């Protein structure tokens, strides 16, 4: 039996078994009595069924929950966070279905107290079950090579011990010449790569780079080995983005590795891991919880300020209150960011300009930019998950191209989610000084942690308070 069918059988049996255990557990008399004594549950009767009624309840719950989880039974690569989110959604579907069945047919009714009690249990155990099923040791190390450098692809095919399913490359390899060097305009062949090495002609070409996501899902790929001539090309980051979205490990040949992007591997191994997700699951959950809490507190505390700024902008020139701009996110993806409008819309340019030299800034804009209050609407982007509180500053897509041409390695900022504040921001490094900004951003990529985030946020809040005080004193002095 292949790995796919083993996964399907294990996942179905696990869901049905865990749902059964959950019902048996919460139908215990002591559990029901204790739960019914709680203030919020005291109106729900503690009357656990027995005999045939109990068997019907268990079978119904197991069947409905197992049916609700059908989308998760097909083996396919997924991020752990996506597995948890999808498992939670399917749990809610199952609970809603059970409640609906009970509403229309008393014979197959799951008591309300039982339904209330099994919901949190299923919320915990079912995601944990699917995460455990997808643990690394259960994978068969199915790998593909993705790139545009046929020399690298051939060398990797001859050296890797992974189960290589094939390779994706814009140009098919047909016949290897006498060695790995290929003259311009010549297509490399694949007779042999090295003594005892694997023949590339024995490895199937699965298509071009555009088929990457389809191949990851169709073949339930565990690992993607990157073989690009240049690691700063859009195709390279596109491949990393696909790996990130599907929870697939990414590797690169040691000779083409970069310390910013890769983890320290065994010196004897030719392939090293790319740190697509450098944080553990609990770190991501803590970071996301911090982001949401920060947004909630920020909206409550700044509500009067938000209203005052909106009225001031409208009174100043009668224009729109918010300004929307397309920004670059993780691995080159884009999203719309909102800010309080601080400049006249005419004459917008992608070339970075210092505020003191920018004559497009309005009177209200001068104040809210100097106090950083124009950034407040970005709390919405954090809540949506497009941004985090801490990370490299998201750059306008039009400006991004200019900065890429001006500064080497600029795209390496794409490895983490952009932030409202960051190491570059608290050190006054902006797009006007791209080399300094890149240096701070890459330092954060290497050293990021929740403790580091808290330190940066603390410094940013202090900086904002100081700037607000300076602005207020400056305005008072000027009016006197």
Least confident piece of the model among 23-27, 111-115, 233-237, 455-459: 233-237
Out of 181-185, 351-355, 400-404, 456-460, the most confident range is 456-460
pLDDT at residue 467 greater than cutoff 50: yes
pLDDT band (50, 70, 90) for residue 354: low
Between 363 and 351, where is the model more confident?
Answer: 363
What are the pLDDT digits (tens) for 3-20? 667 788 989 999 999 999
- For the segment 82-103, the average pLDDT, to the nearest whole number, is 87
What kind of fold does domain 140-274 have according to CATH?
Answer: Rossmann fold (3.40.50)
Q: What percent of the chain has pLDDT over 70?
A: 76
Position with higher pLDDT, 104 vs 277: 104
pTM given for the model: 0.57
Residue that wins the pLDDT comparison between 461 and 38: 461
pLDDT higher at 475 or 229: 229
**Domain locations in the chain?**
3-137, 140-274, 281-479
**What is the 3 state secondary structure string of the chain?**
CCHHHHHHHHHHHHHHHHHHHHHHHHCCHHHHHHHHCCCCCCCCCCCCCCHHHHHHHHHHHHHHHHHHCHHHCCCCCCCHHHHHHHHHHHHHHHHHHHHHHHHHCHHHCCCHHHHHHHHHHHHHHHHHHHHHHCCHHHCCCEEEEEECCHHHHHHHHHHCCCEEEEEECCCCCCCCCCCCCCCCCCCCCCCCCCCCCCCHHHCCEEECHHHHHHHHHHCCCCEEEEECCCCCCHHHHHHHHHHHHHCCEEEEEHHHCCCCCECCCCCCCCEEEECCCCCCHHHHHHHHHHHHHHHHHHHHHHHHHHHHHHHHHHHHHCCCCEEEEEEECHHHCEEEEEEECCECCCCCCCCCCCHHHCCCECHHHHHHHHCCHHHHHHHHHHHHCCCEEECCCCCEHHHHHHHHHHCCCHHHHHHCCCEEECHHHHCCCCCCCHHHHHHHHHHHHHHCCHHHHHHHHHHHHHHHHHHHHHHHHHHHHHHC
**What pLDDT, on a 0 to 100 scale, did the predictor assign at position 237?**
75
pLDDT tens digits for 7-66?
889 899 999 999 999 988 888 878 877 877 777 776 776 666 677 778 888 898 999 999
What's the mean pLDDT in 113-141?
82
Q: Is the model's pLDDT at 248 over the cut of 80?
A: yes
Give residue 191's pLDDT. 44
pLDDT at 192 over 60: no
pLDDT at 466: 85
pLDDT value of residue 229: 78
- Segment among 79-93, 332-346, 374-388 with least mean pLDDT: 332-346
């Amino acid at each position: 039996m292949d790995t796919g069918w083993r996964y399907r059988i294990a996942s179905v049996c696990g869901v049905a078994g865990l749902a059964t255990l959950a019902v048996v557990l919460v139908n215990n008399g002591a559990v029901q009595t204790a739960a019914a004594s709680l203030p919020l549950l005291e109106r729900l009767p503690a009357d656990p069924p027995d005999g045939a009624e109990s068997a019907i309840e268990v079978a119904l719950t197991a069947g409905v929950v197992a049916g609700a989880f059908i989308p998760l039974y097909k083996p396919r690569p997924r991020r752990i966070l996506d597995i948890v989110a999808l498992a939670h959604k399917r749990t809610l579907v199952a609970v809603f279905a059970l409640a609906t069945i009970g509403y229309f047919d008393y014979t197959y009714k799951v008591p309300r107290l039982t339904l209330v009690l099994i919901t949190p249990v299923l919320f915990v155990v079912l995601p944990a079950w699917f995460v455990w099923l997808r643990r690394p040791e259960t994978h068969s190390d199915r790998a593909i090579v993705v790139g545009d450098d046929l020399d690298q692809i051939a060398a990797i095919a001859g050296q890797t011990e992974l189960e290589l399913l094939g390779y994706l490359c814009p140009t098919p390899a047909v016949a290897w010449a006498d060695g790995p060097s290929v003259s311009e305009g010549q297509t490399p062949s694949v007779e042999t790569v090295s003594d005892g090495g694997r023949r590339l002609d024995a490895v199937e070409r699965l298509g071009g780079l555009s088929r990457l996501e389809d191949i990851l899902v169709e073949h339930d790929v565990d690992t993607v080995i990157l073989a690009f001539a240049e690691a700063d090309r859009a195709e390279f980051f596109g491949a990393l983005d696909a790996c990130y979205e599907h929870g697939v490990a990414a590797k690169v040949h040691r000779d083409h590795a970069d310390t910013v992007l890769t983890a320290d591997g065994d010196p004897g191994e030719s392939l090293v891991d790319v740190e697509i997700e450098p944080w553990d699951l609990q770190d991501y959950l803590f970071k996301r919880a911090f982001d949401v809490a920060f947004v909630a507190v920020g909206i409550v505390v700044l509500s009067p300020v938000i209203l005052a700024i909106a009225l001031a902008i409208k009174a100043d020139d009668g224009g729109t209150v918010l300004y929307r701009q397309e920004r670059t996110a993780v691995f080159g993806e884009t999203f719309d960011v909102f800010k309080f409008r601080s400049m006249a819309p005419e004459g917008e340019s992608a070339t970075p300009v210092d505020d003191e030299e920018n004559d497009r800034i309005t009177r209200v804009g001068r104040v809210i930019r100097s106090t950083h209050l124009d950034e407040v609407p970005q709390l919405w982007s954090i809540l949506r998950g497009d941004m985090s509180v801490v990370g490299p500053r998201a750059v306008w897509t039009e400006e991004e191209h200019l900065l890429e041409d001006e500064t080497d390695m600029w795209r390496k900022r794409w490895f983490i989610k952009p932030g409202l504040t960051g190491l570059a921001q608290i050190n006054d490094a902006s797009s006007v000084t791209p080399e300094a900004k890149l240096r701070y951003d890459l330092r954060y990529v290497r050293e990021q942690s929740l403790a580091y985030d808290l330190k940066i946020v603390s410094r940013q809040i202090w900086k904002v308070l100081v700037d607000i005080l300076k602005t207020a004193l400056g305005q008072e002095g000027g009016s006197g």
